[in-house]
Amino acid sequence: MIEIIPAIDIIDGKCVRLTQGDYGTKKVYNEDPVEVAKMFESYGIRRLHTVDLDGAKSQHVVNYKTIEKIADHTSLVIDFGGGIKSDEDIDIAFSSGASLVTIGSVAVKNPDLFNKWLDRYGAEKIILGADVKNGLISINGWKEEGNDKLMPFLKRYTDKGIRNVLCTDISKDGMLQGPATELYKEIMAEFPDMHLIASGGVSSIDDLEALQNAGIPAVVFGKAIYEGKIKMEELSRFNA
């Protein structure tokens, strides 16, 4: 059964969504992310993906108080990403109630620091963020395209013990036109032991079924819920 992970993206402490990472497309869906998280939990959701979009933009964690509130008011397993660039940032993320952190830019730009965190916290608490555009890894809130090709990048860190990977096809993100299922199948064929979390483009229950049928272990999505394309009641079949 595919693991269902709703996303809460945060700007100014509010629940928002962007399209393809463009801050100019910001749409506020709820003033109170805690309310949204509690709603998810009430429908049997156990896991939550949170993104500090202010943090991603400003290169350090900003919205950690929101994570604290979600952790205080729910029993959801929270993973947190966006702006984690330093020892202080990652400490703040964990002390604010995150069970896992998603790290992308540091893995590209400062592998020594990323590997230090792997040793310190353990691979089970770190998700490698692999945000892909035109086959290359993008970083810093998707504003910068790196030189790393996806598969070698993944191999470098699976060789170091990474098992959890969140892969977003940026061209699909927020478009509600279906996920990059073929890309995820390629990744799973290359790395069968990976706990791959698909992200980007989910627009319907059919998309979730397709990812499950393709053997993808987990999926993150948000806009399809916020726009009413997927009803929370429909997700109950995945929470058995």
DSSP 48-67: EEEEEHHHHHHTS---HHHH
Q: How far apart are CA 36 and CA 73, in angstroms?
A: 11
Identified catalytic residue from 9, 54, 79, 169: 9
CA R_g for the chain: 16
* Of residues 51, 58, 57, 9, the one with CA closest to residue 30: 9
Residue 22 annotated to the active site:
no
Helix (H, G, I), strand (E, B) or coil at 7: strand
Q: Would residue 89 show up in a list of annotated catalytic residues for this protein?
A: no
53-76 as b/e: b if 16+ CB within 10 A: bbbbbeebbbbbebbbbbbeebeb
> Token pair for residue 25?
């497309």
Q: What is the DSSP string of 145-211?
A: EEEEEHHHHHHHHHTTT--EEEEEETTTTTS-S---HHHHHHHHHH-TT-EEEEES---SHHHHHHH
- Could you say which of 131, 148, 169, 207 is catalytic? 131
Length of the chain (residues): 240
Q: Catalytic residue numbers?
A: 9, 131
